[in-house]
Amino acid sequence: MTASTETDRPGVGEQASVRPAMSRKAEELDRTWYSPSGFFGWFTQVNHRMIGKRFIITSFIFFLMAGIESLLLRTQLAVPENSFLTPDHFNQLFTMHGSTMMFFFAVPMMEGLGIYVVPLMIGTRDMAFPRLNAFGYYVYLIAGVTLYAAGFLGHAPDGGWFAYVPLTLTQYSPGLGLDFWATMITFIEISALVAAVELIVTIFKQRAPGMSLNRMPLFVWAMLVTMFMIVFAMPPLMVGSVMLALDRTVSTHFFMTSGGGEPLLWQHLFWFFGHPEVYIILVPALGVISSIVVTFARRPIFGYTAMVLSVVAIGFVAFGLWVHHMFTTGLPTLGVSFFTAASVMIAVPSGVQIFCWIATLWGAKLRFATPLLFVLGFFFIFVLGGLTGVMVASVPFDTQVHDTYFLVAHFHYVLIGGAVFPVFGAIYYWFPKVFGCMLNETAGKWSFVLMFVGFNMSFFPMHQLGLQGMPRRVYTYLSESGWFELSLLATIGAYVFALGVLVTAVDALLSFLRKPDAPDNPWGGDTLEWATSSPPPNYNFEDIPVVRGRWALWERGEEPAGTVVGLRSGRREVLVTTLLDAEPHAVAILPGPTIWPFLSAVAVAAGFLGFIRHPIWFPIGLLLTFVGFVGWLWPRAVGGSAEEEQAR
């Protein structure tokens, strides 16, 4: 292993240096990669950092909204026979809570992190398809706002985030709520798919020279695997939700038994997406944890190859688990047993990762800053969630606890432990890079303690409630059930957890009032995003770096690594490198700011939303989208400045 010495690494906690005036090249680059400002300018921005930041902030707002929904649910369940919420409102709230957390918070948050961090980490100036990037964000925003607007106007879905048929067919759910749900879920998957395509191409073709596959940062590996998973997992859900929408709007019979349809087909399609979805959320978090562990242990990861392989193995096996959500549907015992085997086997690569992190941390001189605290919290919570996961992989046990609070405890341990804690670690870790100022460490530690204590107080008792037989998705329970004390404890825990989230949210808001003063590399990290200023300039790097080792900044050594020459500053040029070895082989010219991705997203949205009322909107939407794409792809001038042409 090419471990670097202590002296190779940049100073930890170094003060912000007074930056020299911009060079002529930097000034030209700044103009070339400029993002328009102002209200109208906002709709034309395409730079990956702008779009990534929007994904992160928007998804965090959705996280807060889903959190408020969960507090309302817990308030209702605090005492038996409570009438704080009506049964209908309870159904709507848990549907919106689940849908928001999965579709509008977790996946977009991970995409946002990838869109912002990956291009910086691999040393390029933007992503491969900047306009597609912007289009994906508008699609996401329109889908989320529409679903909530429909909810506030009395059309909230109430069939659960899984929308099982036949309950969600018009016969049993006659309102428009599920029409909005099915349509917007189809719509938002477009956003996930375009982000996946962009990130895959960017990672494969735009890495800085020298960053061969065996040198790629673990976060980049994690994002690459996740994006491939999205490409294979999202289409089945899109197909399923389109079929559901057609059953509801034009009375097709995909899921209606009376017309020869098959309700279990919905569950297969949904869970073929739904289980990989869990890993689509988890795998980027594994990359975040590796980044934080390496930085705060101040040493290279133990078992780089094993870590990469674990992520790749998880990416594959995640697609072989979906039937374990259907153990009680009456499928053949032998058939479901294959999925028990796969569900148990996926614990192996997950365990390998945990052991590699422990080995990295073992004996290291740790710096217990807030990001590392959230990672340590992840270890405890996620391992507990993994243990109950192995338990419910067994058909007999799963049959016993199916649809009880044991399951609610299990998947919150996996999802909050596996995604929310790492995301909060990531927020504290990359906040100085994104916004140029540090978050308050004391507030961060308070936030962690409150979230950790509140989480365990809320969800650990649910294991016991489940074992005592408390069913999930019920709006209240009888006093004689014996579930009151633990339910009340869970509710108190939820409020403590929310307080912890609030501390971070307020800290982040207050930080915007401070003057940006973060150093370029406040934590002493090893990856390339720390080699540029905080926040980075419009062009990310004045000179594209050349990578000389797996721990790019730690292995720079005394001798300069060199930079890429030959890219023009007067137009949006990025270096294209080979897939395996990252050797330079071409230059790509990226498009600049434009309104067309926004207009195209509005056109697609018009088609989707109009379809709820009448099928004629489908061709109308198609026509409008065609117009949008023509404007988007209209040929553009690509010439550089006259001076530069002369210089070349």
**Which one, 308 or 574, has the nearer CB to another protein?**
308
**Residue of 549, 592, 597, 628 interacting with another protein (CB under 8 A):** 549
Q: Does 337 bind another protein (CB under 8 A)?
A: yes
Does residue 11 touch another protein according to CB under 8 A? Answer: no
Task: Tell which positions 167-226 bind another protein, by CB under 8 A.
Answer: 210, 212-215
Residue with tokens 């990001």: 371
Instruction: Choose one: 258-266, 341-349, 361-369, 449-457; the region binding another protein (CB under 8 A).
Output: 341-349
User: Which CB sits closer to another protein, 77 or 318?
Assistant: 318
Exactly one of 187, 266, 304, 448 binds another protein (CB under 8 A); that residue is 304
In three-state form (DSSP H/G/I as H, E/B as E, the rest C), the secondary structure along 107-126 is HHHHHHHHHHHHHHHCCCCC
Question: Considering the rule CB under 8 A, would residue 551 count as an interface residue with another protein?
Answer: yes
The upper half-sphere exposure of residue 122, i.e. CA atoms within 13 Å in the direction of its Cβ, equals: 36
Q: Note whether 348 binds another protein by CB under 8 A.
A: yes
The one-letter amino acid at 74: R
Q: Is the dihedral of CA 114, 115, 118, 121 positive or negative?
A: negative
Per CB under 8 A, the list member of 323, 420, 494, 604 interacting with another protein is: 323
Closest contact distance (angstroms) between CB of 341 and another protein is: 4
Q: Which stretch binds another protein (CB under 8 A): 126-134, 336-344, 359-367, 400-408?
A: 336-344
Is residue 396 a contact point for another protein (CB under 8 A)?
no
Residue 242 or 331 with smaller CB distance to another protein: 331
Among 242, 581, 606, 640, which residue sits at the site for another protein (rule: CB under 8 A)? 581
User: What x/- string results for residues 504 through 543 when contact with another protein is judged by CB under 8 A?
Assistant: ----------------------------------------
Q: Does 329 bind another protein (CB under 8 A)?
A: no
The least CB distance from residue 615 to another protein, in Å, is: 34
In this structure, how many other beta carbons lie within 10 angstroms of the beta carbon of residue 587?
Answer: 14
The HSE-up count of residue 94 (CA atoms within 13 Å, CB side) is: 20
Q: Does 633 bind another protein (CB under 8 A)?
A: no
Among 10, 166, 320, 610, binds another protein (CB under 8 A): 320
Question: Which residues on neighbouring strands pair with residue 471, listed in sequence order?
Answer: 404
Stretch that binds another protein, among 235-243, 309-317, 386-394, 506-514 (CB under 8 A): 309-317
Q: Rounded to an integer, what distance in angstroms lies between the CA atom of residue 209 and that of residue 543?
A: 12
DSSP letter string, 126-177: S-S-HHHHHHHHHHHHHHHHHHHHHHHTT----STTTT-TTTTSTTT--SSH
Q: What is the CA radius of gyration of the chain?
A: 25
Using CB under 8 A, which of 349, 425, 545, 628 touches another protein?
349
- Binder of another protein out of 127, 156, 342, 462 (CB under 8 A): 342
Is residue 316 involved in binding another protein (CB under 8 A)?
A: yes
Tally of CB atoms within 10 A around 372: 23
Q: What is the DSSP track for 403-459?
A: TBHHHHHHHHHHHIIIIIHHHHHHHHHHHHHHHSSPPPHHHHHHHHHHHHHHHHHHH
> Per CB under 8 A, which region of 74-82, 328-336, 456-464, 487-495 contacts another protein?
328-336
Q: Counting contacts by CB under 8 A, is residue 548 touching another protein?
A: yes
**Contact range with another protein by CB under 8 A, out of 13-21, 48-56, 140-148, 298-306:** 298-306
Report the SS3 class of residue 404: strand
Q: Describe the crossing of helices 130-152 and 107-121 by its angle, rounded to 10 degrees.
A: 160
**Three-class SS of residue 415?**
helix
Can you tell me the distance from the alpha carbon of 88 to that of 96, in angstroms, rounded to the nearest whole number? 12
Q: Binding residue for another protein (CB under 8 A) from 16, 167, 242, 309?
A: 309
Q: Is 580 in the site for another protein (CB under 8 A)?
A: yes
* Rounded Cα gap, residues 177 and 245, in angstroms: 11
Number of residues in contact with another protein, rule: CB under 8 A?
41
By CB under 8 A, is residue 317 in contact with another protein?
yes
Enter the tokens of residue 348. Answer: 């192996």
Residue 86 has a CB neighbour count (10 Å cut-off) of: 11
CB of 572 to another protein, least distance (A): 28
Cα–Cα distance measured from residue 551 to residue 440, given in angstroms and rounded to the nearest whole number: 28
For residue 399, state whether it binds another protein (rule: CB under 8 A).
no
At residue 569, φ and ψ (nearest 5 deg) are -90, -20
Is 335 one of the binding residues for another protein (CB under 8 A)? Answer: yes
Long-range contacts of 163-166 (CB under 8 A, 24+ apart): 163/241, 163/244, 163/266, 163/270, 164/263, 164/266, 164/267, 164/270, 165/244, 165/247, 165/255, 165/263, 165/266, 166/255, 166/256, 166/257, 166/263
447 binds another protein (CB under 8 A): no
Nearer to another protein, 1 or 21 (CB): 1
Smallest separation (angstroms) from another protein to the CB of 338: 5
Which residues on neighbouring strands pair with residue 589, listed in sequence order?
Answer: 573
Give the footprint of another protein on this chain (CB under 8 A): 1-2, 210, 212-215, 304-306, 308-309, 312-313, 316-317, 319-320, 323, 332-335, 337-342, 344-345, 348-349, 547-551, 555, 580-581
